[in-house]
Every structure is written in structure tokens, then in C-alpha cells.
Structure 1
Amino acid sequence: MATKTYTTIQGDTWDGIAYKTIGSEYYMTDLIEANPAHRETVIFSAGVVLTIPEITTPTTTNLPPWKRVSS
């Protein structure tokens, strides 16, 4: 599997990048952990290449039948 990357644009922030690339700002911590060289950055300049971590969502098997996703 190829590693996903994101090249920043001027003014990008961790939460905005997490939302754009992973789908939720809640993955900001995972994004920072995948890019330790940039952890002190608050607002990015253009052209910084970041690694986008692969996020696996846990599956719950104890959901009631009406909430289970059928395949």
C-alpha cells in the first residue's frame, strides 16, 4: 500500500488538514504523531509534505440489530 501524503497550502492548520484528508478534526493527534518533525508548527507555510496516517475505525459487535451495518 502506498503512503498517502498531503502538501500544505499557506495557512493550513493541523485540524484543517485532518478534516480535509482524514474526514475529521478529531484525528489531528494522529496526524501530528505521524509527522513528528513538524509538531511545533501551528500554521503551515505552503509546500510542506506531510504523511497522512491510515486510520482504522473499531467495529462494535454488540450493537442492536437496527444499528448494525449489513454487508
Structure 2
Amino acid sequence: MKTYTTVQGQTWDQIAYELYGNEYMCDKIMELNRDKLDCFVFPAGIELTVPDKADAVSETVTSDYPAWRAMLNAKI
């Protein structure tokens, strides 16, 4: 694990794309930062815990949605 400090205006999916080249990895970042889930657009200077790149991209995405979104869709 490592940390990432946000820039004003970033969102979960933007951070995932910047770090891993895939916005679907945002669920991995969100999983590690449950205390910040109420934030959609970040202010500058928020420190997030993020998985190492090798750990994050080794898992396969099995749907078109990140896991958190697929779960929401299943409940509808």
C-alpha cells in the first residue's frame, strides 16, 4: 500500500485512471478509504491509501461496472 494526495477537483475514477490507467479500479481505492466515501469531488490535500499498481491491476474486472456500481444496479 501507498498514499496519494488529491488535487482540487479530482474524483475517484479520475484518480484510478491516473494511477492505474483504468477508471474501473476506483472500487479498490474506495475500499481502502471507506471513511472518505461521502466525498465525490475532492478538495486538495486529502490523503488516500491506494494499492500498489501491481496488486491493483492483477485483478480482472468481470463486468462493465466497478464492483460498487454493479452492487447498486443489482439492488434496483
TM-score when scaled to structure 1? Answer: 0.71
The yes-or-no answer on 1:25 pairing with 2:26 is no
Aligned partners of 1:21 and 1:52 also within 8 Å: no
Q: CA RMSD in A?
A: 1.7
Gaps spanning 5+ residues in structure 2: where?
Answer: 61-76
**Alpha-carbon deviation of 1:58?**
5.0
Q: Aligned in 2, Cα 1:37/1:47: closer, same or farther, shift over 3 Å?
A: same
**In structure 1, C-alpha distance between the alignment counterparts of 2:58 and 2:36, rounded to whole Å:** 25
TM-score when scaled to structure 2? Answer: 0.67
Percent of aligned pairs with the same amino acid:
44
**In structure 1, C-alpha distance between the alignment counterparts of 2:36 and 2:25, rounded to whole Å:** 16
* Aligned structure 1 segments of 4 or more residues deviating by more than 4 angstroms: none
Instruction: Figure out how many residues of one structure are paired with residues of the other and give that number.
Output: 57
Gaps spanning 5+ residues in structure 1: where?
Answer: 60-71
Q: Rg larger in 1 or in 2?
A: 1
CA deviation profile, 1:8-34 (whole Å, cap 9, x unmatched)? 010010000001112210101111001
